[in-house]
Amino acid sequence: MIKSILPFWLLLIASFCYTQEKLIIPGMKVERSCTIKRGFYKLDAPADTAKTVILIEGNNIIIDFNNSELTGSNNRKTPDEFFGVAILVRNSRNVTIKNLKAKGYKIALLARNVEALTLENCDFSYNYRQHLNSTQEKEDISDWMSYHHNEKDQWLRYGAAMYLRNCGNAVIKNCRVTGGQNALMMMECDSGKIFNNDFSFNSGIGIGMYRCNANEVTYNKINFNVRGYSHGVYNRGQDSAGILVYEQSNHNVFYKNSVTHGGDGFFLWAGQTTMDTGEGGCNDNVLIDNDFSYAPTNGIEVTFSRNRISGNRIFECDHGIWGGYSYSSKISDNQFRNNRIAIAIEHGQHNEISYNLFSRDKEAIKLWARKSQPADWGYAKLRDTRSADYVIAMNSFNSNPIVLNMTRTDSLRIFGNTYSDFESMLKVDSTVTNIDTSDGTLPDTTIVYPVVKNPISPFAGNGKLAGRKNILVTEWGPYDFRHPIIWNTNPVDSSAIMKFDLIGPRGKWKVKSIKGVENLSAFSGIFPATITAQKIIGERTDISIELEYVGNIITTPFGEKIKAGKPYVFSFRKFFQPIDWEVNWFAFDSLSNPVLHPEYLHQLDKKPPISHEIVKRLDYAWWGGIVSNGVKYQQFFTIAEGRANFPKGAYELSITWDDAVRVYVDDKMVIDEWLPSKYLFDESPNKKIRVDLNGNHRFRVEHVELGGFATLGLKLKPV
């Protein structure tokens, strides 16, 4: 009798232990299923990303976090300071994590070598993101990102809400990421299902893939993953994207996703392996029934690869589709509207463009080849890179000033299209050969659509934010319309009148204080509103408008909830201190490289500069060298010396450069970045320091460019 009862009680005790709610303890390890005691846990992670707040390791585990919230980096004020990993899952199988919130970390969830990982109903918003240096007036080159190589987890330097490596058959559903930089980054992850998520309003990437195959990405809202845009001023994107697909990622399906207002909507690149060997690519990916509208650059970019693009909506992008070196690809049944160029393909081969609807694009289809290929591309040496063998059939072209624009392209079959309201239907020259306009037929190809249980439409509500004009990139990323903002709508207007939109949730606003402007058109009102102000012209630009909002509940840019009716202060600030710069450039060779041979600096006064300028600001970018008197110098040295009179105060000095720089204030070196080798990635660095200024000061900048892209920019603003 005792023998039969004892196992029952043991099972009951074990069951009680497993179901008992657990408190989160820093450094805890979870190896069995459990429920976390609901609460708010302020837990800093170790700075070493190899360590974590919670380690999960084991098989057949379900961890229900019970809507608990983990907050890291509790003594840090801004997202670019966030550090550490909240959750690490490794070397496991069949692990489910659900109902978790984690914010304030460099990486909220990191998973390595996990088969069948499920993330469900998790919110990883407001984790790490860079402090952007670009302004409405001018972009800063240091904001460009680089995603070219990730074999050594280089992507981690940008942080991520979720970072998965070697996680086959993952399921990520009903999760949310906003107010970060990168939402979901995947490396060597195959056969996953990602659906019903909202990864919107982040400053980098919504979903990124590197060597990932056969994944299904469906019914996700991936809007406003963007940087590098100022409406009517510049539209660079800076390699942000809604969806990023890189380096030998094949057979993935992207179906019914809303991917609007991304730097690129969809950005696919074959990868360095293909560029070096000519082999492989990101092939046989299928993009079906998505919305890739309102991208500052390309709605869809697919390069050096073979893919299928069908049934998508692509409105108001610079390029609807940029398909450089695409081959054997099918572009069909898509809707293009108000793009600068709807489809642009250089050096493409064996592509079919059919059954698409084009409306009011400045150019509908542009095909071309360059006279020569870059000498350092293995791809161009090993592959046929002619522009050739196109089928353009059964498309409808409406109000496109230029319909077909082609150069250096051979063998085109063009039939069954309809045209209306155009200026030039076929723009070609003698380099275009073998155009066949006889009727023909197209092969019928079947699309297999993914099946998702209980899908949530990602397109609901998109209409109210239609258009690129709604991309408002702040110093912390895209504005998300959940808090009040004052936005200068004519940032590069040289007139004295400044125009502002007041945007945000319903409520009232009033001006608390102003500086540097006068004659405001209104001092109070309700949202939305438009006001004007007149600049006070002086020695420097120092403008501040501080306002107070009272209204509905709001969420601040850092994720803080402000109760309805509680006053919230927001502001506009613009500062520019002109500095009287005298800038000289000198050429050098490998024997007189000032990085390797500092003694060369003392010989500069013995030779004349190759170029000279007097300017009020340092803000330069050079592609492939500096040109002087018709001669291009790949390597050059810059010396800039300036003077200015500053009001007493603390200032942030920010310098962007490539390849080496030194900065002096009143003959004291304050920045020494003279070793280009310490920067391992193909990005232009930026460094900020605090300086105390009062009255007249002297500045000196020494800059070296060793070849390739170069930039030099210096800014000062009050702390």
What was the pLDDT predicted at 466? 96
Regarding whether 323 and 250 lie in a shared domain, the answer is: yes
Distance separating alpha carbons of residues 342 and 312, to the nearest angstrom: 12
Percent of the chain scored above 90 by pLDDT?
86
What was the pLDDT predicted at 8? 46
365 membership: H or E segment, kind and range: strand 363-368
Regarding whether 604 and 507 lie in a shared domain, the answer is: no
Regarding whether 359 and 238 lie in a shared domain, the answer is: yes
If one counts the domains in the chain, the total is 3
Regarding whether 248 and 227 lie in a shared domain, the answer is: yes
CATH of the domain at 539: 2.60.40
pLDDT tens column, 459-518: 999 999 999 999 999 999 999 999 999 999 999 998 999 999 999 999 999 999 999 999
Regarding whether 375 and 392 lie in a shared domain, the answer is: yes
**Residue 155 main-chain phi, psi, to 5 deg:** -60, -25
Cβ atoms of 626 and 633 within 8 Å: the answer is: yes
Cβ atoms of 344 and 402 within 8 Å: the answer is: no
Say if 476 falls within a structural domain. Answer: no
Say if 211 falls within a structural domain. Answer: no
Domain termination site, one of 536, 556, 576: 576
What was the pLDDT predicted at 70? 98
Say if 75 falls within a structural domain. Answer: no
CATH of the domain at 692: 2.60.120.260
DSSP state of 263: S
The answer, as to whether pTM is greater than 0.85, is yes
Domain region containing 643: 580-718
311 membership: H or E segment, kind and range: none
Helices (H), 369-514: 378-382
Distance separating alpha carbons of residues 258 and 588, to the nearest angstrom: 51
Judge whether residue 25 has pLDDT over 70: yes
Regarding whether 537 and 401 lie in a shared domain, the answer is: no
Cβ atoms of 385 and 363 within 8 Å: the answer is: no
Q: Is 146 helix (H, G, I), strand (E, B) or coil?
A: coil
Say if 92 falls within a structural domain. Answer: no
CATH of the domain at 408: 2.160.20
Regarding whether 662 and 515 lie in a shared domain, the answer is: no
Say if 534 falls within a structural domain. Answer: yes
Nearest one of 256, 205, 207, 208 to 226, comparing CA atoms: 205
What was the pLDDT predicted at 605? 66
Its sign, for the CA torsion 3, 8, 11, 12, is negative
Whether omega for the bond prior to residue 528 falls within 30 degrees of 0, making it cis, is yes
Distance of CA 162 to the CA centre of its chain: 16
In this prediction, residue 441 has a pLDDT band, given cuts at 50, 70 and 90, of confident
Bridge partners of 654, per DSSP, are 688, 715
Domain termination site, one of 576, 602, 626: 576
Dihedral through CA 501, CA 505, CA 506, CA 508, nearest 10?
-60
Regarding whether 524 and 661 lie in a shared domain, the answer is: no
In this prediction, residue 19 has a pLDDT band, given cuts at 50, 70 and 90, of low
How many Cα atoms are found within 13 Å in the side-chain-facing hemisphere of 399?
7
pLDDT tens column, 143-175: 999 988 899 999 999 999 999 999 999 999 999
Distance separating alpha carbons of residues 144 and 708, to the nearest angstrom: 16
Its sign, for the CA torsion 608, 609, 611, 616, is negative
Q: Is 668 helix (H, G, I), strand (E, B) or coil?
A: strand
DSSP sequence for 622-639: EESSEEETTEEESSEEEE
Bridge partners of 508, per DSSP, are 526, 550
Mean pLDDT, the chain, whole residue set: 94
pLDDT tens column, 93-121: 999 999 999 999 999 999 999 999 999 99
pLDDT tens column, 180-209: 999 999 999 999 999 999 999 999 999 999
Regarding whether 305 and 270 lie in a shared domain, the answer is: yes
- Which pair of structure tokens corresponds to residue 95? 């692990």
Q: The tokens 């006053």 sit on which residue? A: 567
Domain termination site, one of 466, 489, 511: 466
Nearest one of 303, 299, 311 to 339, comparing CA atoms: 299
Regarding whether 532 and 495 lie in a shared domain, the answer is: yes
Nearest one of 477, 475, 572, 560 to 532, comparing CA atoms: 572
Q: The tokens 């006279």 sit on which residue? A: 371
Nearest one of 386, 378, 373, 308 to 345, comparing CA atoms: 386
Say if 521 falls within a structural domain. Answer: yes
Say if 90 falls within a structural domain. Answer: no
| First-residue to last-residue Cα distance in the chain | 79
DSSP sequence for 531-571: EEEEE---SSEEEEEEEEEEES-EE-TTS-EE-TT--EEEE
Bridge partners of 93, per DSSP, are 59, 115
Mean pLDDT of the region 403-407: 97
Regarding whether 460 and 349 lie in a shared domain, the answer is: yes
Mean pLDDT of the region 376-383: 90
In this prediction, residue 18 has a pLDDT band, given cuts at 50, 70 and 90, of very low
Regarding whether 420 and 363 lie in a shared domain, the answer is: yes
Distance separating alpha carbons of residues 291 and 552, to the nearest angstrom: 31
Most confident of the following: 305-314, 443-452, 631-640:
305-314
Judge whether residue 141 has pLDDT over 80: yes
What was the pLDDT predicted at 157? 94
Say if 9 falls within a structural domain. Answer: no
